[in-house]
Structure 1
Amino acid sequence: MSTYTSPTSVAGHTANTGAVLRITMVAALGGFLFGYDSAVINGATGAMREYFDVGATALGSAVASALLGAALGAALGGRLADKLGRVRVMRIAAVLFLISSIFCAIDPFFGADTGGFAWLVAWRVIGGVGVGVASIIAPAYIAEVAPADIRGRLGSLQQMGIVLGIFASQIANRVIVAMAGSSDASWLFGLDAWRWMFLLEAVPAIIYLIGAYTIPESPRWLVAQGRRDEAMAIMTKLQGEGPAVHRLSVIDRTLDKEHKPRFKDLAGKAFGLKPVMWVGIGVAALQQLVGINVIFYYSNQLWQSVGFQEGDAFTISTITSVTNVVVTVAAIMLVDKIGRKRLLLIGSIGMAITLGTMAGVFATATVTDSGPVLGDAAGMVALVAANLYVIFFGISWGPVMWVLLGEMFPNKIRGAALAVAGFVQWMANWLVTVTFPAISEVSLVFAYGLYAFFAFISIFFVIKVVRETKGMELEDMQN
């Protein structure tokens, strides 16, 4: 009788899957904090606006300030990780999350009349830097420690961490409002409820920080630093001696031949860049220009503005977050079966229809002194359309964009190309987030009509220029 030998089992040594999973989950906590920090402000926007007495533009700046920090963190995180090590940079990210959480809640200069709003923006930027660092360090670390045969599944934990973080922030906000009575009510220890929303982020930040002291450094980074014996010990513990020897020999060869990506390698004849770079930039920008983060950053304010009570608005946001988690699981299961391009196309068509529906529904709203108000039937249609929109995004452009960007670039430019595409993605995120409050005050019809327009454009973009990468070797990718 023949015996099957797992790819992670060589020469009698079997991969320690439990240990690999544990350290991967610690790394994926960065994704959880990424999602939590990005979405937690959703429950606080109304109370913040009233407390600081700021307009729509200033409120948009506060919400989007973390995204500018994230762009900076993404730009700096790679170099820091190469210099200091992956795990040490995780600890730095955890500290930044912790600092932002605490000071957004209890900053002594946080008075409405003492420049407190500017301090809030500053602490949000610091948290955003942590978001940017976490967004690149976790996938890199997971890829460098995971056995090849389970790397895809383990890598998907980063995206799952993000959507779970968004979901957890909505649950936490909902519980706080239910217990305090409203987001601007004084609650425990005299601290306003909306401040507690920020403060609770300290809990996962502390867990992440402690966890980052319990996991080993990336073997690839250790080899690059000349610490091969340490790398061998870690790889042997995680994968067994046989696979460890083979993996380290591959790392040695890669480092010997490695050409560090340079931004000048991206230059080409297509308006100064290689054609594949424009495709990557388009994919990164369109993922945000369809307005997805309006749902996660402003949904409470949006639903209240059209007639829902605060408690109902929090419940709707929670349902949306649950929907996002479920469809992310579905996307992970489908992306290698259906293919990247087909999923993107399905998502684009679905988003164009649902966003167009939302724009049409808001066109029927009754305009009052306090803003537009939807009738019962229209409100239900808007609610269904919004959640269908999240489904179409979550099963396609949400996770697939990151998969596609990781695959579509040739090896020699992948690092630099990802840096540019990632920066564009964060800046598009910032642009949508900072402009929505002002645009929505002019017209919600225009706001959702604009996002529907970009979803419509994405249909033709996918059909015309996006190549399917399913089943292709990375070495086969061309400029």
Structure 2
Amino acid sequence: MSKSNQLNFKYILTISMISALGGLLFGYDWVVIGGAKPFYERFFEITEIPALQGWAMGSALIGCIVGAAIAGKVTERFGRKRPLGLAALLFVISAAGTGAFNDFNIFIVFRILGGLGIGLASTISPMYIAEVSPSIYRGRLVSLNQLAIVIGILSAQIFNYFIADAVPEGMTDMEIMNSWNGQTGWRWMFWAELVPATLFFVLIFVIPESPRWLSKNKRWDDSLKVLNNIGGRDYANEIQNEIKATLQKGSEEVVKVKELFNSKNKKLIFIGIVLAFLQQWCGINVVFNYAEEVFTSAGYGVSDALFNIILTGVVNLVFTVIAMQMIDRWGRKKLWLLGSVGLGLSYLFIGLFYFFELKGFTLVMLVVTAIAIYALTLAPVFWVLASEIFPNKIRGAAMSLTVTALWIACFLLTYSFPILNDALGPFGTFWLYGGICVVCFLFVKFKIPETKNKTLEELEEMFD
């Protein structure tokens, strides 16, 4: 019987899907605020205060950065399972509190707590899945995390659309504020997250600890038991021997900061951070964060814009599912290169439409095409690569540093978009993002090897 036939795929898929719920909550919490934005801004009376509008949208990113920054230390000491439970609890608290109070500052506090949950989950969920996945399935299984993020995004978009009553054209700010949407509807957009957040918290108790973390902490019997459940005795012995061989190169249990930047590791840290910035600065998350503004500028009203946002979510989901089928066949590098070219061309044409002041359905289709390309390529490939390229000994700390860089890049992107949009115009901004896609292509073309169909330990040897 071949090694792949001995694998307990049902078990592997179950624990990976539970871990990926962190991605679903990441996606929901990240996007829900976009649909609530037209209503809570009127409720808190900040429609004429750009600084507070930006703070409401960007405050969760502060939590994301902090959560990702502490994730390395937390996962090195407590493993992967318990910090995922902490992330789930933070999602529950944030979902309940964000919609419960009438004070803007308290609203911000709960948004930051949700950001902490996102920062932890975005670091740990893909890392956990990579560490329990056999190499033959790892690309697809780690992509489950991206699929869950996309499902979370689409769920938030659908809930936002159906919770909100139709907003007639010409309603004043005061009329919107005094409507059901302005007083209560936006709260239910946040409260809807309580259901998956509670489910995630309960199911965390079902999954095992990562066998790589158990082995690193010399809990060999516990590690062997988890690996045996994944692939049987022969698989467990083989993988544990590979883990031991890589861990023998460094016997210290605690990763020191200087170890992350020694001659061998600093190149990998550099690659991880650059990939994080490039994945964000390709610009696609601007469409999700400012979707209402993008579609409104294309000539649509608030209700129509919310419906178009759902269209982007459906496309995002469909092409993420396709990516899961392709990532272990085509490989990570080829998909990234194709995505860089596709996004660059999409931004070129979007910029042209804005330059010539062309609006309507065609512009929406160009935006949707860009989202499809991103969902098929850069979105899943980044999380797979980030979970693969680091050695066992430093993976938790290195992933933490990489995802922290991702959220810093995301914060800079979100914060700078209105400034760039004002200085360069929409066409100049999208052309700038297109130029970054060229850099994205060249970096991966010349700096990143293919990683498909190799165990984490084989990759460690290859990068050595």
Question: Normalising by structure 1, what TM-score?
Answer: 0.83
- 2:145 maps to 158
Which position in structure 2 is the counterpart of 1:30?
Answer: 22
Contact 1:31 1:135 in 2 (8 A): yes
Does residue 105 in structure 1 map to residue 99 in structure 2?
yes
Measure the CA separation in 2 of the matches of 1:249 and 1:268: 26
Could you say which residue in structure 1 is the equivalent of 2:3? 7
Answer whether contact 1:77 1:133 (CA < 8 A) is retained: yes
Q: What is residue 437 of structure 2 aligned with on the other side?
A: 455
- Within the alignment, does 1:427 sit opposite 2:421 as a pair? no
User: 1:283, 1:341 → 2: CA distance?
Assistant: 12
Deviations, residues 299-353 of structure 1 (Å, cap 9, x unaligned): 0232124420222111111111111112222223333443433322222222122
- How well do the aligned residues superpose, as a CA RMSD in angstroms? 3.2
Equivalent of residue 273 in structure 2, options 266, 274, 281: 281
Which sits farther off after the overlay, 462-471 or 379-388? 462-471
After the TM superposition, which of the residue ranges 190-199 and 306-315 deviates more from structure 2?
Answer: 190-199
Q: Compared with structure 1, are the counterparts of its residues 436 and 121 closer, same or farther at alpha carbon in structure 2 (3 Å cutoff)? A: farther
Correspondence for 2:291: 299
User: Which among 187, 195, 214 is matched to residue 203 of structure 1?
Assistant: 195
* Paired residue type of 2:129: I
Contact kept? 2:247, 2:393, Cα under 8 Å: no
Q: Unpaired segments of 5 or more residues in structure 1?
A: 366-373
Contact 2:332 2:452 in 1 (8 A): yes
Q: Which residue of 2 aligns with 1:369?
A: none
SS at match of 1:53: coil
Q: Distance in 1 between matches of 2:271 and 2:247?
A: 29
Alignment pair present for 1:474 and 2:459: yes
Q: Once the 2 structures are TM-superposed, how far is the Cα of residue 138 of structure 1 from its aligned partner? A: 1.6
Counterpart code for 2:409: A
Residue in 1 that maps onto 2:86: 92
What does 1:162-173 align with in structure 2 at a 5 Å threshold? 162-173=149-160
In the alignment, the residues of structure 2 paired with residue 21 and residue 468 of structure 1 have an alpha-carbon distance, to the nearest angstrom, of 24
Give the counterpart of 1:402 among 352, 374, 383.
383
CA contact (8 A) 1:176 1:193 kept: yes
* Aligned-pair CA distance for 1:297: 1.5
Matched pairs, number: 450
Contact 1:341 1:462 in 2 (8 A): yes
- What residue number does 1:126 align with? 113
Q: 1-side partners of 2:242 and 2:305: how far apart?
A: 53
Determine whether 1:347 maps to 2:329: no
Read off the aligned partner of 2:145 and give its amino acid letter: Q
Instruction: Give me the whole-angstrom Cα distance separating, in 2, the residues matched to 1:308 and 1:293.
Output: 20
Contact 2:142 / 2:384 at 8 angstroms: preserved in 1?
no
Q: Which amino acid aligns with 2:96?
A: I
Taking the TM superposition and a 5 Å limit, the aligned residue runs for 1:34-433 are 34-54=26-46, 55-107=49-101, 110-111=102-103, 116=104, 118-178=105-165, 186-187=179-180, 192-224=184-216, 227-252=219-244, 254-258=246-250, 261-265=255-259, 267=261, 274=266, 277-365=269-357, 378-408=359-389, 416-433=397-414
Contact 1:261 1:414 (8 Å CA) reproduced? no
Distance, in Å, in 2 between the alignment partners of 1:276 and 1:52 is 45
176-185 vs 384-393, which deviates more?
176-185
Query: Shift in Å at residue 128 of structure 1?
Result: 0.8
| TM-score normalised per structure 2 | 0.85
Asked if 1 retains the 8 angstrom alpha-carbon contact of 2:39 and 2:186, the reply is yes
Which amino acid in structure 2 is aligned with residue 452 of structure 1? G
Deviations 1:349-387 (A, max 9, x none): 22122212222222334xxxxxxxx6xxx2222111101
Contact 1:30/1:208, CA 8 A, preserved across alignment: yes
Aligned AA for 1:294?
Answer: V
The more displaced of 123-132 and 326-335 is 326-335
Native 8 Å contact 2:99 2:187 kept in 1: yes
Distance 1:306 1:145, change over 3 A: closer
1:370 counterpart residue number: none
Identity %: 37
Give yes or no for contact 1:63–1:434 (8 Å, CA) kept in 2: no
> Would the alpha carbon gap of residues 186 and 53 (structure 1) be closer, same or farther in structure 2, given more than 3 Å must change?
closer
SS at match of 1:394: helix
